Amino acid sequence: MLYIQSIEIIQQNLEDCDEWIFKNYKIDETLKEFKDYKVKEIKPRTLTILNGKITFKRKKYYKINPETGKEEYIFPLDKLLGIEKWQRIDNSIKEKILSFIGKKKTYQDILDTMEHVKICIKTISNIMKNAKTDKEYYLNKTDKKIKIPHTLYIQIDGTYLKMWNEKKKGKEKIKKHSIFSTVHTGFDKAKSTKKKTCNCK
Protein backbone atom coordinates (compact mmCIF):
# COMPACT_ATOMS: atom_id res chain seq x y z
CA MET A 1 0.00 0.00 0.00
CA LEU A 2 2.87 2.38 0.78
CA TYR A 3 4.40 1.78 -2.64
CA ILE A 4 1.04 2.34 -4.32
CA GLN A 5 0.49 5.57 -2.41
CA SER A 6 4.00 6.81 -3.18
CA ILE A 7 3.47 6.08 -6.88
CA GLU A 8 0.29 8.16 -6.85
CA ILE A 9 2.07 11.05 -5.12
CA ILE A 10 4.99 10.98 -7.58
CA GLN A 11 2.58 10.81 -10.52
CA GLN A 12 0.68 13.85 -9.26
CA ASN A 13 3.90 15.78 -8.63
CA LEU A 14 5.15 15.05 -12.16
CA GLU A 15 1.90 16.16 -13.74
CA ASP A 16 1.89 19.29 -11.54
CA CYS A 17 5.43 20.02 -12.71
CA ASP A 18 4.35 19.61 -16.34
CA GLU A 19 1.50 22.05 -15.75
CA TRP A 20 3.93 24.53 -14.17
CA ILE A 21 6.12 24.31 -17.29
CA PHE A 22 3.08 25.05 -19.47
CA LYS A 23 2.20 28.16 -17.46
CA ASN A 24 5.75 29.52 -17.28
CA TYR A 25 7.79 28.34 -20.28
CA LYS A 26 7.15 31.60 -22.17
CA ILE A 27 8.32 33.85 -19.35
CA ASP A 28 10.64 31.86 -17.08
CA GLU A 29 14.34 32.32 -17.92
CA THR A 30 15.18 28.76 -16.88
CA LEU A 31 12.79 27.44 -19.56
CA LYS A 32 13.85 29.74 -22.40
CA GLU A 33 14.94 26.82 -24.63
CA PHE A 34 11.25 25.86 -24.96
CA LYS A 35 9.73 29.30 -25.57
CA ASP A 36 9.50 28.93 -29.38
CA TYR A 37 7.46 25.73 -29.07
CA LYS A 38 3.68 25.29 -28.98
CA VAL A 39 1.65 22.59 -27.25
CA LYS A 40 0.45 19.88 -29.64
CA GLU A 41 -1.09 17.19 -27.44
CA ILE A 42 -0.97 15.37 -24.11
CA LYS A 43 0.61 11.91 -24.10
CA PRO A 44 1.11 9.37 -21.29
CA ARG A 45 4.48 7.84 -20.47
CA THR A 46 5.26 4.72 -18.45
CA LEU A 47 8.53 4.58 -16.53
CA THR A 48 9.89 2.05 -14.07
CA ILE A 49 11.27 3.75 -10.95
CA LEU A 50 12.48 2.45 -7.58
CA ASN A 51 8.94 2.59 -6.20
CA GLY A 52 7.53 0.52 -9.07
CA LYS A 53 5.99 1.26 -12.47
CA ILE A 54 4.51 4.70 -12.96
CA THR A 55 2.36 6.17 -15.74
CA PHE A 56 2.01 9.94 -15.96
CA LYS A 57 0.70 12.43 -18.52
CA ARG A 58 2.80 15.21 -20.00
CA LYS A 59 2.48 17.72 -22.83
CA LYS A 60 4.12 17.29 -26.21
CA TYR A 61 5.40 20.52 -27.79
CA TYR A 62 6.37 21.30 -31.37
CA LYS A 63 7.85 24.02 -33.57
CA ILE A 64 8.53 24.42 -37.28
CA ASN A 65 12.19 24.21 -38.22
CA PRO A 66 12.83 27.30 -40.40
CA GLU A 67 15.47 25.49 -42.47
CA THR A 68 13.64 22.21 -43.19
CA GLY A 69 10.04 23.37 -42.80
CA LYS A 70 9.32 20.25 -40.75
CA GLU A 71 7.87 19.93 -37.26
CA GLU A 72 10.23 19.21 -34.37
CA TYR A 73 8.87 17.65 -31.21
CA ILE A 74 9.96 17.80 -27.60
CA PHE A 75 8.68 16.82 -24.16
CA PRO A 76 10.03 19.50 -21.77
CA LEU A 77 9.21 17.43 -18.66
CA ASP A 78 11.22 14.46 -19.99
CA LYS A 79 14.13 16.74 -20.77
CA LEU A 80 14.11 18.30 -17.30
CA LEU A 81 13.95 14.82 -15.75
CA GLY A 82 16.96 13.72 -17.83
CA ILE A 83 15.22 10.74 -19.45
CA GLU A 84 15.61 9.84 -23.12
CA LYS A 85 12.66 9.08 -25.42
CA TRP A 86 13.70 5.41 -25.67
CA GLN A 87 14.26 5.02 -21.93
CA ARG A 88 11.90 2.77 -19.98
CA ILE A 89 13.91 2.47 -16.74
CA ASP A 90 14.73 5.43 -14.52
CA ASN A 91 18.38 6.29 -13.85
CA SER A 92 17.91 5.67 -10.11
CA ILE A 93 17.34 1.95 -10.79
CA LYS A 94 20.59 1.71 -12.74
CA GLU A 95 22.46 3.40 -9.90
CA LYS A 96 20.84 1.05 -7.36
CA ILE A 97 21.80 -2.07 -9.35
CA LEU A 98 25.37 -0.85 -9.92
CA SER A 99 25.71 -0.22 -6.17
CA PHE A 100 25.72 -4.02 -5.69
CA ILE A 101 28.94 -4.40 -7.68
CA GLY A 102 31.64 -5.87 -5.46
CA LYS A 103 29.18 -7.17 -2.84
CA LYS A 104 29.17 -10.73 -4.26
CA LYS A 105 25.43 -10.63 -4.89
CA THR A 106 23.88 -12.85 -7.54
CA TYR A 107 21.36 -11.44 -9.99
CA GLN A 108 18.65 -13.27 -8.06
CA ASP A 109 19.79 -11.63 -4.80
CA ILE A 110 19.53 -8.20 -6.42
CA LEU A 111 16.13 -9.06 -7.87
CA ASP A 112 14.86 -10.15 -4.44
CA THR A 113 15.86 -6.82 -2.87
CA MET A 114 14.02 -4.94 -5.63
CA GLU A 115 10.98 -7.20 -5.91
CA HIS A 116 8.48 -4.34 -5.95
CA VAL A 117 10.28 -2.66 -8.88
CA LYS A 118 9.07 -5.41 -11.26
CA ILE A 119 12.17 -5.87 -13.39
CA CYS A 120 13.66 -9.13 -14.67
CA ILE A 121 17.08 -10.78 -14.31
CA LYS A 122 17.83 -9.99 -17.97
CA THR A 123 17.49 -6.27 -17.23
CA ILE A 124 19.89 -6.53 -14.30
CA SER A 125 22.33 -8.50 -16.46
CA ASN A 126 22.26 -5.88 -19.24
CA ILE A 127 22.85 -3.01 -16.80
CA MET A 128 25.80 -4.83 -15.22
CA LYS A 129 27.35 -5.74 -18.58
CA ASN A 130 27.04 -2.21 -19.92
CA ALA A 131 28.39 -0.53 -16.76
CA LYS A 132 31.83 0.11 -18.27
CA THR A 133 30.56 1.97 -21.32
CA ASP A 134 27.51 3.66 -19.82
CA LYS A 135 29.16 7.03 -19.11
CA GLU A 136 25.95 8.64 -17.86
CA TYR A 137 25.58 6.36 -14.84
CA TYR A 138 28.91 6.28 -13.02
CA LEU A 139 28.37 6.02 -9.28
CA ASN A 140 28.86 9.12 -7.15
CA LYS A 141 28.90 11.29 -10.26
CA THR A 142 29.47 14.89 -9.22
CA ASP A 143 30.68 18.19 -10.63
CA LYS A 144 31.75 19.42 -7.20
CA LYS A 145 35.35 20.62 -7.15
CA ILE A 146 37.57 20.01 -4.12
CA LYS A 147 40.93 21.36 -3.10
CA ILE A 148 43.56 18.63 -3.41
CA PRO A 149 46.38 18.78 -0.85
CA HIS A 150 49.96 17.68 -1.47
CA THR A 151 48.96 14.00 -1.26
CA LEU A 152 46.18 12.21 -3.13
CA TYR A 153 45.46 8.58 -2.15
CA ILE A 154 44.30 6.08 -4.77
CA GLN A 155 43.01 2.66 -3.73
CA ILE A 156 42.44 -0.11 -6.27
CA ASP A 157 41.06 -3.58 -5.70
CA GLY A 158 39.67 -6.36 -7.86
CA THR A 159 37.20 -9.18 -7.50
CA TYR A 160 35.45 -11.86 -9.51
CA LEU A 161 31.67 -11.57 -9.75
CA LYS A 162 29.55 -14.64 -10.41
CA MET A 163 27.05 -13.89 -13.17
CA TRP A 164 24.69 -15.65 -15.52
CA ASN A 165 25.58 -15.37 -19.19
CA GLU A 166 22.28 -15.47 -21.06
CA LYS A 167 22.46 -17.46 -24.32
CA LYS A 168 19.90 -18.62 -26.85
CA LYS A 169 20.25 -22.24 -25.72
CA GLY A 170 20.20 -21.53 -21.98
CA LYS A 171 22.20 -20.01 -19.16
CA GLU A 172 25.87 -20.39 -18.39
CA LYS A 173 27.44 -19.38 -15.07
CA ILE A 174 30.54 -17.27 -15.60
CA LYS A 175 32.96 -15.16 -13.56
CA LYS A 176 33.51 -11.54 -14.51
CA HIS A 177 36.62 -9.76 -13.28
CA SER A 178 35.87 -6.26 -12.01
CA ILE A 179 38.26 -3.61 -10.77
CA PHE A 180 37.22 -0.86 -8.36
CA SER A 181 39.04 2.34 -7.59
CA THR A 182 38.52 5.09 -5.01
CA VAL A 183 40.35 8.39 -4.62
CA HIS A 184 40.55 10.44 -1.42
CA THR A 185 42.70 13.02 0.31
CA GLY A 186 43.34 11.10 3.52
CA PHE A 187 41.53 11.19 6.84
CA ASP A 188 40.23 14.09 8.87
CA LYS A 189 42.16 14.24 12.15
CA ALA A 190 39.62 16.55 13.76
CA LYS A 191 36.70 14.16 13.15
CA SER A 192 38.52 10.85 13.59
CA THR A 193 38.62 8.83 16.81
CA LYS A 194 40.50 5.72 17.94
CA LYS A 195 37.60 3.53 16.87
CA LYS A 196 36.57 5.35 13.71
CA THR A 197 38.58 7.02 10.97
CA CYS A 198 36.76 9.70 9.01
CA ASN A 199 37.93 9.91 5.43
CA CYS A 200 37.94 13.11 3.45
CA LYS A 201 36.06 13.28 0.17
Rounded CA-CA distance 43/37 in Å is: 16
Tell me what the mean pLDDT of segment 46-68 comes to.
90
Q: pLDDT value at position 37?
A: 93
pLDDT digits (tens, 9 = 90+) for 74-102: 999 999 888 888 888 888 888 888 888 77
Rounded CA-CA distance 4/31 in Å is: 32
Model pTM score: 0.60
Q: pLDDT value at position 169?
A: 60
Q: Work out the burial of residue 117: count CB atoms within 10 Å of its CB; fewer than 13 is exposed, 13-18 middle, 19 or more buried.
A: buried
Tell me what the mean pLDDT of segment 31-54 comes to.
90
Kindly list the domain boundaries of the chain, sorted by start residue.
2-88, 92-184
pLDDT digits (tens, 9 = 90+) for 18-31: 999 999 999 988 89
Q: How confident is the model at residue 142 (pLDDT cuts 50, 70, 90)?
A: low
Q: pLDDT value at position 139?
A: 47
